[in-house]
Every structure is written in structure tokens, then in C-alpha cells.
Amino acid sequence: MPDRPALENDSFGPLESAVIRATPLGGENEDVRMASLQSDILRSSGGTSSPIGPGRTLVDVARSLNPSRGEFSKPYDFYDFYEPYFSPLRERDIRFLEVGVYEGESTKVFSRYFERGSIVGIDLQIRDIDFRGFKNVTYLKANQTDGDALSKIAVDYAPDGFDIILDDASHVGYFSLLTFLHVFPRLKPGGIYIVEDWGTGYWNTWPDGGSFQRFPVESYQGEIPKRLISHDHGMVGFVKLLVDIAAGGDIKGEGPFPNLGPHPFQSMNVYPGTVVIRKSER
């Protein structure tokens, strides 16, 4: 368990984030098993005719970049899991925004995997990362809560919108919400938005997390309880807010963020530790 990161009072300024990982993907989850299975099929079928080699999956790329060290800061399960989402885009000139670079390991994997695409990696702290040999990477200092900075990055590096946005930065709910509100409108129709490590909301060691709270069902007399109150700390509250956005037309009148339009999400898949949203084509 990492030390609790320092959170500056009353500002959305620097949050020194340790590398954290919530529940690793894999194990019993059916969808994750499906994703792994699809990636196995890809591998055994020779995969695509990519210039980086047939059948080279994200995990293959991760292994080849660092053969001696074993797993990267992002466990291989994550790459296996992303394979079916990413492989249809692999040959395209995509725009990928990675929020939270740390030592650049995942950024390098995405760079090699999407050789025809461009990766913009942002972080609050710029580290001495050797990105020579990764010419399609742009590494920038930016706070994930800074709307002006995020807008400028989008205009400069993805004027037609991002194809993939991955938030693996502070894992603080309000910060991730701000990032989402700033950059989701910059995602192309049909694009993919990923939130990693939302389980920090269940950690009482995390700045905005808290031990799981079981709320009693509101008492009722002959009536169905209307409210089933649930744990909503930090990233967990953020993910549950995303569910309100996924509700689309079932919310009569204004939804939580009317500027996102009436049907922002085509789908929202919630997995242990990770959420994958597909933006509506409309």
C-alpha cells in the first residue's frame, strides 16, 4: 500500500501520486476473461499485419520493451484487457491522450503499439524519461484539473479530437471528474475514454477514499424504498456520477451535465478497477 499522497488544501494543485494499483484485472471477472480470450485468439491467429510484427499484442510490446524487468508499472493484465478495445485502431493515425505518465512505461508501450498514431502524455511532474526512439510521443507538464491547459493540448495535438483518452493520474475523484468534463467533449464520436484505478474510493488511506460504507435501506411502511444509498467516496462517487451520465434520455429535463448532450455514452463498462466508456456516435 503506498503512503497517502499529500493533498494541497483548497487547491487542485500538485498532488504527488504514488504509483498505485487497485484490484488487478483478471481472475474471476467474466468480461475480463473474454478480453483475455480474445487477445489469445489474436495472438494465435497471427493478429494483424502490423508493421511492428504480426500478432504483436500490447503485452508482447510491453515484454519486448523491457524483457528483463518483468511486469511494467502497469500490470500486463491491463494490456491484455485493453487489447480488444485497441486492436481495431492499431493501424490508424490515432490521437491518444494519456493522463499520468509516471516513468513513461505505458506511454512507450502505446507509442510502439500505435506506430501510426500520436501519443500525448501529460503529468504534473516531468521526470527524466528517455523518449528517444519514441518519435510519436509528446510529453508535457500539465495538471489534470487545468481546463485551459487541457484545451490547449487538445487544440494543438488533436484538433479533430482524441480517439482514446486514458486517465491514470491522481485517482482522486474530483480531479478525475474535472479532467473528464474538460476532455470528454474533445473525444471523437465513437472514441474510448478509460478511467483506471477507481477502487481508491474504497481505501481509507487515500485522500478522498473511505472504508466501504454499508447504508441501511430507508425504512418504509408498505412502500418500496425509493433510495438505495451507496458508498460514494472519491473515485467511486465519480464512477457513480458517470452512471448518471450514461442514463441519457431516462433523465427528463437537464441531466447532470447538459453541455455533454442528451446521449453522451454509447456504452459504459464497469470492471474491477477500470471503467471503459465508448462515446456515442451522435
Binding site for ligand SAM (CB under 6 A): 15, 17, 19, 73-74, 100-102, 105-106, 123-125, 143-145, 168-170, 175
Burial status of residue 128 (CB atoms within 10 A of its CB: 0-12, 13-18, 19 or more): exposed
Q: State in angstroms the smallest separation of the CB of 107 from ligand SAM.
A: 7
Distance from C-alpha of 245 to C-alpha of 189, rounded to nearest angstrom: 16
Rounded CA separation 271/265 (Å): 16
What string of H, E and C letters represents the secondary structure of the chain?
CCCCCCECCCCCCCECCCCCCCCCCCCCCHHHHHHHHHHHHHHHCCCCCCCCCCCCCHHHHHHHHCCCCCCCCCCHHHHHHHHHHHHHHCCCCCEEEEECCCCCHHHHHHHHHCCCCEEEEEECCCCCCCCCCCCCEEEEECCCCCHHHHHHHHHHHCCCCEEEEEECCCCCHHHHHHHHHHHHHHEEEEEEEEEECHHHHHCCCCCCCCCCCCCCCCCCCCCCCCCCCCCCCHHHHHHHHHHHHHCHHHCCCCCCCHHHCCCCEEEEEEECCEEEEEECCC
Nearer to ligand SAM, 125 or 230 (CB): 125
- Rounded least distance, CB 280 to ligand SAM, Å: 26
Nearer to ligand SAM, 73 or 211 (CB): 73
CB-nearer residue toward ligand SAM: 36 or 170 = 170
Closest CB 221 distance from ligand SAM, rounded Å: 47
Query: What is the smallest separation between the CB atom of 146 and ligand SAM, expressed in angstroms?
Result: 8
- Least distance between ligand SAM and beta carbon 168 (Å): 4
What is the nearest approach in angstroms of ligand SAM to the Cβ of residue 16? 7
Give the nearest distance from C-beta 100 to ligand SAM in angstroms.
3
Choose between 57 and 106: whose C-beta lies nearer to ligand SAM: 106
Q: Which residues are registered as beta bridge partners of 99?
A: 122, 167
Pick 97 or 169: Cβ nearer ligand SAM: 169
* C-beta closer to ligand SAM: residue 163 or 167: 167
Between 14 and 248, whose beta carbon lies closer to ligand SAM?
14
